[in-house]
Amino acid sequence: MRILQGIIACATIAIASAATAAVKMGEPAPPFELTLIDGTKVRSTELRGQVVVLNFWATWCGPCKAELPLLDNYYRLRKPNGLRVFAVATEDSLPASKLKPLFAAMAIPSARRIKGPFAAMGALPTNYIIDRAGVVRYAKAGAFDLDDLNTLLVPLLREPAP
């Protein structure tokens, strides 16, 4: 049974690695479509001209629990400057029905699904930042702190929309 679990874990990592291989920093972001927790869809083409953060998280992830309120507060402050943040719950999180109360209290839209090559990179949280021109400027596993957000996002938010 342990061998089977090991094979499944390796296959999952290989699939996530293959999916993120199409997402490269410094290159245009591949098309994606988010299905939000309320069922609405957001396509990457609709986000052009804004700075986008895709945050992959899970309810069991300690660093995610610390990062999510920080992202929410940052989003509230920077949304008028063209920032969009989407929290993408991984499949091993709670069901969407149990997440609804959490996201009712937050400004960040929550996605229950993403179509496209974006995925968690073997660790959570995983974050992607896409600039106003649609170029991937950041793609790494690990939680943001306030200094990270300011260092990475403020220059991008100051750039004019294409």
| pLDDT tens profile 54-80 | 999 988 899 998 999 999 999 999 999
When pLDDT is cut at 50, 70 and 90, the band that residue 38 belongs to is confident
CA-to-CA distance for 52 and 78, rounded, in angstroms? 11
- According to DSSP, the residues that pair with 54 across neighbouring strands are 86, 128
Work out the percent of the chain whose per-residue pLDDT is above 90: 64
CA-to-CA distance for 109 and 90, rounded, in angstroms? 14
Say yes or no to pLDDT of 14 above 80: no
pLDDT of res. 7: 36
Contact 58, 93 (CB under 8 A): yes
Find where tokens 């995610």 sit: 64
- Average pLDDT over the chain, rounded to an integer: 85
Model-level pTM? 0.83
Structure tokens at 46: 């609709």
Q: What is the mean pLDDT of residues 112-136?
A: 93
For 138-160, write each residue's pLDDT tens digit: 999 999 999 999 999 999 999 99
Say yes or no to pLDDT of 90 above 60: yes
Environment class of residue 157 by beta-carbon count within 10 Å: exposed (0-12), middle (13-18) or buried (19+)?
A: middle
Please name which of 78, 48, 67 lies closest in space to residue 140, comparing C-alpha atoms: 67
Which of 1-10, 128-137, 138-147 shows the lowest mean pLDDT across its residues? Answer: 1-10
Residue type, 58: A
| Helices (H), ranges, 79-160 | 96-104, 146-158
